[in-house]
Structure 1
Amino acid sequence: MSVEIRTEGIGVALGGVEVLSDVGVFFRRGERTALVGPNGGGKTTLVRILLGLLPADRGRIRCVGDDGREVRPPRLGYLPQRSSLAPEAPVSGLDLVVLSMTPGPGFSGTASACEEARCALARAGLDPALWTRPVGRLSGGQRQRVLLARALAGSPPFLVLDEPDTALDAEGLKTLRRIVAEEIGRGHGVITVTHDSDAMGGADRIWRIDRTAAEVPVG
């Protein structure tokens, strides 16, 4: 089933400053959507609201199916702009990806979750020799690949990328562009916060976010 994510009248103030006002945008499966705009315009804030990491002061998010009826919100795979993994973290990349699928105290990874994690790490281009190495002993680019694998694990219907071209090397960007094409081919949606709408191989829809939102013609 196709799912469309819609924001309606989203508004939020941070530190007494209005960051977003009456933002209404939509995201569809099978589309590459770019969020562009100036620094401080609210792109990442909007993404944080979509992910449920930040509550909006006003407005709502609706998810609708093909028939226009509201459906359960889909899971969003998220690649942050910068690695949030602590350098001293003892957990391995493999365990981190498995934990993202089946979190909980006293966790013991199931065979299927471990296999899914291995597939995600392979897609993200991390050398198998590094899968069980503690993330604190990985380079910044390698940790970013672990986060990419975590975003891909479980095949979420939407992938959210926050300025991915700032933290990946040339080979990592090549891998990510391939993954974006694969995700679109699977009928998934890809949402990218970027200053260059062509960075991930182009966009099917572009929203300019600068406190408010406006759709920008593609091409």
Structure 2
Amino acid sequence: MLRVDEVVLVHFSPRIDGDLFKEKTAVELVYKSDVSKPILMGLVDQEAILFVTISVNPFGKLATSGKYIWIHPDDIPNVDKTRFSDYVNQKLADKNIFGSSAEDYANSVINFYETNVKASNNRYLTMLTQLISDVNFNIPALREAKARAAAGQKVYFYLYTYVNPKYKSKYFDAVAHADELPNLFDAPVGKQNIELEGEEGNVQKKFAELFVNFARNGRG
């Protein structure tokens, strides 16, 4: 289902192949789509938690633990600056794409995350997770949102940051991919449903209202 230790996590994803969609880029496709209707998009604050550590991965029994993706709990303490730098240099800074600029690109990426990620615990694990979140979720989502807005579409965007104690990872104080969905549906296999009272009940109500208001009024 997922590709261990690859930059792009999934085996399958939408393809602009010149058959069904004639456009050459996703931006061209957006500009030719119906932008008259508003759209609601969103992210959680640390999407890749689900994919980086095998201990919080509901598909763990199907996974082969890797060096960067689905890291085995026993290997978590070994995620250091060298591990992070290796991922950037060996996986992200592809010489087929960046050519002679690959090393400079890698250094700029490493410097960016070392400068901007302030976590004191599991710092390089957090940096690795943030980078994988950015590449696979954050940058594509924001790029699409900006393209849609530039094409004249009304874009509403949310960032979900409520860390439910029931789903909290032992390594991160952040929300993992899909941890907002129990506000709208039953929880995934292996996770508890949320309570419709107290703090999580208030969050559930507000999150559900966001979608109801958007469906009714075309805005959040």
TM-score normalised by L of structure 1 = 0.34
Higher strand share: 1
The structure that has the greater radius of gyration is 2
What is the TM-score with the length of structure 2 in the denominator? 0.34
More helix by share: 2
